[in-house]
Chains A and B, each alone.
Chain A
């Protein structure tokens, strides 16, 4: 297959939208959709969809430097939702985008439920293809993950946004919570059409020479290969809850290559997000698509959707068995 972009087995329906490929470029990693096209050979057409940077009601300057830092097999970021505000995005950014090349998803953030509603409503009246609500941003003081860690609050945000848009609504879940499956269940009841799993994990880096936190915001979100095993487990857990309702998942966290993407599909994702992986290899998309096509050839799959949730769990009997009775002699 010379051009994976045109491999018809990789095109799919997602919440009623036609996507060229199962790859989604992740919010915060690709600016407002045009940035990576600076790189010769990069094409937005290789992405099924592009999630724009987290957008709030008013413009935000974001956090003080440093905002990014490498950690073992990953990185921390604390951008602090720097964005020009929803009006600017709708009035000036969206008209610059080429919706023939790919789909564009908004990524909505807020400090209050009212702000989520306001931003969602503004995007509803725009050419944007879908709206992702980010109730899992670890880098702002109020809102974000404070909503996402509490199933009640998550459901309230989803329900409120649901009322003001008929566009596909994607809820981005945080790994920084105890029961992601319960949260997912509540969000489905509240009307979400899809999930993004997972956002970054909270972390920190220490500059020992100066005994300071490296990141300006002290803590940041951990992304990249370091979080992939956690992300896979969360995708698998959410899939158990979401599959019966036909609610698809954008699996994400540390995807660098085709094998990583396949792991997410098999664990239950319908589409796979790429964020930090682009920082390492801006031209990774065609390679990942090629690898998926290759795998499908080898395993006789006729469509990428048939891979979703094909994970076979082992019967982990011994781990679950009750402890053996104590030998009274010991």
Chain B
């Protein structure tokens, strides 16, 4: 009955609880905050698509899940971008540089990269942008930025001071000229969309620009595309539809309320199609990244 501690148990010891110092914490406008915390173990192990579970304030019993936006493995920090929407995120925004924060991470299944699909289209909406930034950075470090495209949408001013892009991206509607400097510097073609009249951003949805681009591709090129999406539920549903329309694989990152975030409580489950029928899967450890076709349209529970 006894199995050696690690041999058959690769999951053990993969998530770290670190009390890290806040290295930087600033208001990026429109209730959005950028938070950088010293958490070297988490930084070392984190992959794009994973998240951390943060203690926002000692008085709040439940931690809050936030996607990891960037890491610096040498300096040992992890970075988050979050929007203040309630008690937890408000309390978090009141933590100052130099304060200590408990970070539990990295958690969850990351995005999977398939070498046979080197053209990667990253779609991020609102607070779904952070994991796309991490993925873009990761692809840049792998030398694959040239094949990477990103469309990011927001209904409030974007963080990171957008500017006109110098990376050519043919086939897009006029007016889609702005990009995020970070992605531009990494060599990733990126454009922004918004319905809020943000200068340089396309007036529409992320899926509009994505569709416009996919239409310009020859079938052989299109077969090399894979979609990666994170954002509000309706946006993810639209991304899943778009992927189905062009018969492309798509990975989506989901959100659900969480208690433990380590797979213990089954508090965060969503219905997922599996070969054995609809199952309730945990967003924290079975996700947050799922195949879009397995979760959209939302499966009917038997």
A residues at B contact (CB < 8 Å): 28-31, 34-41, 53, 61-62, 64-70, 73-75, 77, 79, 82, 95-100, 127, 224-225, 276, 278-283
Q: Give the contacting residue for A29; candidates B11, B14, B265, B270; CB below 8 A.
A: B265
CB distance from B128 to the nearest CB of A (A): 18
Instruction: Tell yes or no: B109 within 8 A of A by CB.
Output: no
Residue of B nearest to A65 (CB): B256
8 example contacts (A-B, Cβ-Cβ < 8 A) are as follows A39-B17, A61-B278, A61-B302, A67-B266, A68-B265, A224-B61, A279-B62, A281-B102
Asked if residues B60 and A282 are in contact (CB atoms below 8 Å), the reply is no
Asked if residues B257 and A39 are in contact (CB atoms below 8 Å), the reply is no
Report, as a range, how many residues of chain B touch the other chain. Answer: 35 or more
Asked if residues B17 and A283 are in contact (CB atoms below 8 Å), the reply is yes
Residue of A nearest to B271 (CB): A61
Q: Which chain B residues numbered 31 to 75 have a C-beta less than 8 Å away from chain A?
A: 41, 55, 60-63
Residue of A nearest to B16 (CB): A40
Residue of A nearest to B260 (CB): A279
Q: Which chain B residues numbered 251 to 292 have a C-beta less than 8 Å away from chain A?
A: 256-260, 262-271, 278-280, 285
Q: Contacts A99-B2, A100-B2: A38 and B13 contacting too (C-beta < 8 A)?
A: yes
Q: Give the contacting residue for A75; candidates B259, B263, B270, B302; CB below 8 A.
A: B259
A40 to B105, CA, bound (A): 10
Using Cβ atoms and an 8 Å threshold, which residues of chain B touch A64?
Answer: 301
Q: Contacts A38-B11, A39-B104, A82-B280: A67 and B262 contacting too (C-beta < 8 A)?
A: no
Q: Give the contacting residue for A65; candidates B5, B15, B41, B257; CB below 8 A.
A: B257
Asked if residues B61 and A75 are in contact (CB atoms below 8 Å), the reply is yes
Where chain B touches its partner, the secondary structure class is loop
B residues at A contact (CB < 8 Å): 1-3, 5, 9, 11-17, 41, 55, 60-63, 87-88, 102, 104, 256-260, 262-271, 278-280, 285, 301-302
Asked if residues B264 and A29 are in contact (CB atoms below 8 Å), the reply is yes
Which of B13, B62, B267 counts the most chain A CB atoms within 10 A? B267
Using Cβ atoms and an 8 Å threshold, which residues of chain A touch B102?
Answer: 281
Asked if residues B257 and A69 are in contact (CB atoms below 8 Å), the reply is yes
CB distance from B59 to the nearest CB of A (A): 8
Known: A30-B264, A31-B263, A82-B266. 15 other contacts (CB 8 A): A28-B265, A37-B11, A41-B17, A61-B302, A62-B280, A65-B257, A65-B269, A66-B256, A67-B257, A68-B258, A69-B257, A79-B267, A82-B269, A278-B264, A279-B63
A276 to B61, CA, bound (A): 9
Residue of B nearest to A73 (CB): B61
A163 to B264, CA, bound (A): 31
Asked if residues B12 and A79 are in contact (CB atoms below 8 Å), the reply is no
Q: Give the contacting residue for A280; candidates B5, B11, B61; CB below 8 A.
A: B61
Using Cβ atoms and an 8 Å threshold, which residues of chain A touch B63?
Answer: 279-280
Q: Contacts A34-B9, A38-B12: A67 and B260 contacting too (C-beta < 8 A)?
A: no
A225 to B14, CA, bound (A): 29
Using Cβ atoms and an 8 Å threshold, which residues of chain A touch B265?
Answer: 28-29, 31, 68, 77, 79, 279
A61 to B61, CA, bound (A): 27
Using Cβ atoms and an 8 Å threshold, which residues of chain B touch A79?
Answer: 265-267
A31 to B282, CA, bound (A): 11
Asked if residues A280 and B280 are in contact (CB atoms below 8 Å), the reply is no
Using Cβ atoms and an 8 Å threshold, which residues of chain B touch A95?
Answer: 1
Q: Give the contacting residue for A61; candidates B2, B3, B9, B301; CB below 8 A.
A: B301
Q: Give the contacting residue for B257; candidates A36, A68, A224, A276; CB below 8 A.
A: A68
A31 to B261, CA, bound (A): 11
Using Cβ atoms and an 8 Å threshold, which residues of chain A touch B259?
Answer: 68, 75, 77, 276, 279
